[in-house]
Structure 1
Amino acid sequence: MERWAVSPFRGCAHACLGCGARGGHRRLGLDAGGDFDSRIVVKPNVVERLRVELGRWAGEPLAVGVSGDCYQPAEERYRLMPGVVAALGAAGVPFTVYTKSALVLRDAGVLAAAGARVAVSIAFVDERIRRAVEPGAVGAQARLELVSALVEAGVECRVLMSPVLPLLSDATDQLTATVRRIAGAGAVAVEPVVLRLPPGTREWYLRWLGGAHPHLVERYEELYDRAGFPSSGYEQRITGQIEQLCRVYGMRCGAPEPEGRGPRAAQLALV
């Protein structure tokens, strides 16, 4: 994951229970549950501020859309992303756009011209799980088609198998089906990420788990530490299984190599 990020929105209508950005809403005096899903904070001056910061940027890679999907429904109205992409492309900054939305295809041309990476999250292909934990997001098939469309449009596309849900989407047959269908969509690499439960996310997710799968709550409390990380043994086992499956289906596994394009200035800046 990149060290620096810029996001046009805070909060996300996809309402994914395991979203690690939920805790950020608390700093705005909002709750990390229903407010995060429905009270979307828009940053209308994001492009102007970004251009100022890029004037003294050191060239480190940026993530776009980590505090809320940058192509969620609000983007249809505010159209902030074309300006963000153009500014980053003009500055020569390597960046990755994180999204689950087909709206990203609207900007495929400018993304390709800017040399952007797009990371699409496809954690599982079971629609019953998706409807429960990602109720506002499109289904796996639509995201698989999105990967194919981005590749065809000349946009470099990563697939995040994120988040793998302990005891819910981590069975061997579930992992196999997901990796097989990702490979079939034309992806060349998969980056597996096991669910994290940082403060804000943890309370909201466990509240849902207690209602939907009460017998799993104690097992989750044993599996996760106070910071929200799963046990290293469990994480290594799951990522090891996915790595083996990637070899079977001819894909790389793991995070991409860091990229750089030469600094424009000596000083780093936080956007």
Structure 2
Amino acid sequence: MRAVQESLLDAGSASPPVERPRIERQAVTRAIGGVTCHEVAARTAVERVPEAAELPYRWSVSPYRGCEGACAYCAARGDHRRIGQDAGAGFASTIVVKTGLADRLRRELASPRWEAEPVVLGAAGDCYQPVEEVYRLMPPILRALADAGNPFTVMTKSPLVLRDLDLLREAAKVAPVRAAVPVGFVDDRVRRSVEPGATTPQRRLEVCAALNEAGIPCGVLMAPILPLITDSPDHLRSTVRRAAEAGAVSVTPIVLRLPSGTREWYLSWLEREHPGLLPRYQALYGRGSTAEAGYRARIAAQVRGLAETYGIGRGDRRWRRRRSPARQLTLA
């Protein structure tokens, strides 16, 4: 078993972080609760989304690097390693805060080279994670995008996004504004293990419903689907059905990726929680970061079929939930 894990880990191994990385030498460091925040002046605002991420976006704006959600599978862990930070436990306990990001964003959006392409907010770390309650970086970012009339999508698992609902509505008057809530599965037992710091799937779906009811189109990123854990027909059907109940305007399936930095941490979790699956992961992922193409195509086809069954993305749905006080989505 150990040999299997070492084989998988070797494929994503990299040099350890150097001592005293530059970001720590240049940052203003604050402790907020149990989180260490490195405040650094933003050098860039708009960044290209790697094609390998398989996200339906080309450009991103991320006020934070690292995420208190502590999701074992988060593909942004490699970014933490590249700036000299711990991609394991440190990903959730050491957050890079990009100060002055809204001002930098305004300058970049005003550049004649920028063609007002859509951007996604929060690709490198949830833009509404708990430290946002202290730093409040998102309101000026939303105002900058609205003033430029630039289309954008907010990607978050947090109900804190509802704090800025008025700003989202104002921005939607001048440009397309959407939201995306990642819900890869609805089994909260799995969530407690692999997403220990994230809100429950139910709460995220309530946020999806609230945004849609407020006029901000919100879809579900079914990400990630965990091979051999949350990819059964029952898991997939339950997740798509619950997304439909929340009024999701779309559902986008994304199978787990294991890039360097993520691979090591996720496989350590897998060895603790599901050791018998390690050999099967070796067969599915080989020495790459993505699952075998045929498997991904099969999962995507299943989700597309379920979305069609439940009418997601169609104005006149074939299926409608039975409403009852016990089953309605509510915001507590």
Instruction: Write the distance in 2 (CA, Å) between the matches of 1:91 and 1:204.
Output: 39
Asked whether the 8 Å contact 1:112–1:156 carries over to 2, the reply is no
Partner of residue 103, structure 1: 160
Q: Percent identity?
A: 56
Asked whether the 8 Å contact 1:162–1:195 carries over to 2, the reply is yes
Partner of residue 265, structure 1: none
Task: State the Cα RMSD in Å.
Answer: 1.2
Out of 44, 62, 66, the position equivalent to 1:11 is 66
SS at match of 2:298: helix
SS at match of 1:113: helix
* Offset at residue 37 of structure 1 (A): 0.9
Asked whether the 8 Å contact 2:217–2:249 carries over to 1, the reply is no
Greater CA drift, 68-77 or 224-233? 224-233
Instruction: Write the distance in 1 (CA, Å) between the matches of 2:133 and 2:286.
Output: 39
| Residue 129 (structure 1) aligned with residue 190 (structure 2) | yes
| Residue 48 (structure 1) aligned with residue 103 (structure 2) | yes
Out of 191, 199, 209, the position equivalent to 2:270 is 209
Asked whether the 8 Å contact 2:122–2:155 carries over to 1, the reply is yes
* Offset at residue 55 of structure 1 (A): 1.3
Out of 155, 160, 170, the position equivalent to 1:113 is 170
Out of 60, 74, 77, the position equivalent to 2:131 is 74
Question: Post-superposition, which runs of at least 4 consecutive aligned residues in structure 1 deviate over 3 A?
Answer: none
Instruction: Write the distance in 2 (CA, Å) between the matches of 1:220 and 1:45.
Output: 42
Partner of residue 144, structure 2: 87
**Structure 2 unpaired stretches of 5+:** 1-55, 315-332
Instruction: Write the distance in 1 (CA, Å) between the matches of 2:123 and 2:218.
Output: 16
**Structure 1 unpaired stretches of 5+:** 254-271
Letter in 2 for 1:51: R
| Residue 183 (structure 1) aligned with residue 244 (structure 2) | yes
Residues 27-50 of structure 1: CA distance to partner in whole angstroms, max 9, x if unpaired?
A: 221111111111011112111111
Instruction: Write the distance in 1 (CA, Å) between the matches of 2:284 and 2:261.
Output: 18
Partner of residue 88, structure 2: 33
Length-normalised TM-score, structure 1: 0.91
Out of 111, 115, 135, the position equivalent to 1:58 is 115
SS at match of 2:179: strand
In the TM superposition, what are the counterparts of 1:192-231 in structure 2 within 5 Å? 192-231=253-292
Partner of residue 28, structure 2: none
Give the paired residue count: 253
Letter in 2 for 1:103: L
Q: Which has the higher contact order (CA 8 A, sep 6+)?
A: 1
| Residue 151 (structure 1) aligned with residue 212 (structure 2) | yes
Letter in 2 for 1:229: T
Instruction: Write the distance in 2 (CA, Å) between the matches of 1:93 and 1:198.
Output: 31
Length-normalised TM-score, structure 2: 0.74
* Offset at residue 197 of structure 1 (A): 0.8
* Offset at residue 112 of structure 1 (A): 2.2
* Offset at residue 96 of structure 1 (A): 1.1
